[in-house]
Every structure is written in C-alpha cells, then in structure tokens.
Amino acid sequence: MRKEEIREILHRLDMERKKLIAPRLQQLGLTVGEGQARALFCLQGKGPMTQRELADFCMRDTATMSRNLDKMEKAGLLTRENNPSCRRSFLICLTEEGKEKAEQVRRIFQELDDKIWGDIPEEEMEGLYQVLRKVEENLNRAVDGQEN
C-alpha cells in the first residue's frame, strides 16, 4: 500500500504550489495563506455574497474570514453592502480596484495551472480527478462523523 507515500506527495505538492504562488500574491499586496486571493477569485466568479457564503466557498471559519475582509476593505478591494434579502447580513462586493486585483489573481491561478498540469493528457487528469473526488468524499464523511 502506498497510502503514506501518497499523503507525503500531496503534502509536498501543496508546499511547492505555495512556493510558486506566494511571491506573485505578495507582489499584489495580498497576505499569503489567509485566503485573500481565493476570496477575490470567488467573488469575481460568483458575484456578491454574504460573509458566511464566502467563508464556505473559501473553506475558512467566519472569524478568519471577517479579519480578512476587514483588511481587504481597508485596502479598498471590497465593500460590505446591505443585503436586501436579510437585514442581519451584508453582501461582500468587489470595488473596481478589487475587480482589477481579482483579474490578476485569476491570471496567476491560470499560469499556475498551466505549470502544474504541463503536458499531462486530459484522460489522466480525469482519472486523477475521479480518485481525488473519492478521497474528498471520504474526508467529508470522516469530518461529518466527528461533528455528530
């Protein structure tokens, strides 16, 4: 069985990915490791959403997301606007500067994907995708089992 080896490869891949992307995100003025780039990417792709929705998409707890949003709001990247469907929440919206930064993040992510996947054929990527989805389902079941 290669479970331990696969786990170690996944860890190394994540570390190498971070080494590639961190300098580029820092050049944009984003704090690496806090999910700011992912938040911009999600808002660009999905449009305005509540803090809870954004935290879920970015897989962050709401307290961490709140701190990130405060920093990003101070940097002029987003605003919190009244949510017409719920008076107790706000919609997180990109400013024009945030839209520009989100587009730069999208390009960085695309370049990273190009480097990661290189010349790997689509059918091999599809097989890997199917296996990783099963791993994700197993992890989700394990987490759900812990919460109950």
| DSSP helix, strand, coil percent of the chain (3-state; round to 5) | 70, 10, 20
Enter the tokens of residue 114.
């190009």
Taking each helix axis from N to C terminus, what angle separates 36-46 and 51-58, rounded to the nearest 10 degrees? 110
Q: Please give the Cα distance from 117 to 55 (Å, whole number).
A: 28
- pLDDT of the residue at 85: 85
What type of residue sits at position 21? I
CATH 1.10.10.10 matches 3-117: yes
Q: Structure pTM? A: 0.85
List all residues 6 or more positions away from 40 whose beta carbon is below 8 Å from its beta carbon.
Answer: 30, 72, 77, 94, 98, 101, 102, 105
pLDDT truncated to tens, each residue of the chain (148 aa)? Answer: 799 999 999 999 999 999 999 999 999 999 888 889 999 999 999 999 999 999 999 999 988 899 999 999 999 999 999 888 888 889 999 999 999 999 999 999 999 999 999 999 999 999 999 999 999 999 999 988 887 6
> In terms of Cα–Cα distance, which of 78, 88, 87 is closest to 48?
78
Q: Please give the Cα distance from 97 to 34 (Å, whole number).
A: 19
